[in-house]
Structure 1
């Protein structure tokens, strides 16, 4: 997925449900969530609000990308 494709995918999620996403798509969404929250309010914002429940998924996917 290209960078542009990732953001198009993420923008489409704003109004939609994530229930039917594949595990890979959920991982991409979790990474995008982390990026957005950290950029707008820092890690405190991410962990204090809704992102904290997805933090394990996002860190696993980031580790996968690093390989």
Structure 2
């Protein structure tokens, strides 16, 4: 009887650890993907802001020369 409980207990621990490892892996992948997406969005935002500033400066120079 004790041996049967030990096997069941060991199986329960193995399954629990496997599920925990899978959950940690999924969270790591999700976190890395989210990080990559935020970096990409930040780069696009900087490029858009730089272009906007360049156009504003060009417009201001045209106003001042006329």
TM-score (norm 1): 0.30
The structure whose RCO (Cα within 8 Å, separation 6+) is larger is 1
Rg larger for: 2
The structure in which a higher percent of residues are helix is 2
Report the TM-score when normalising by structure 2. 0.31
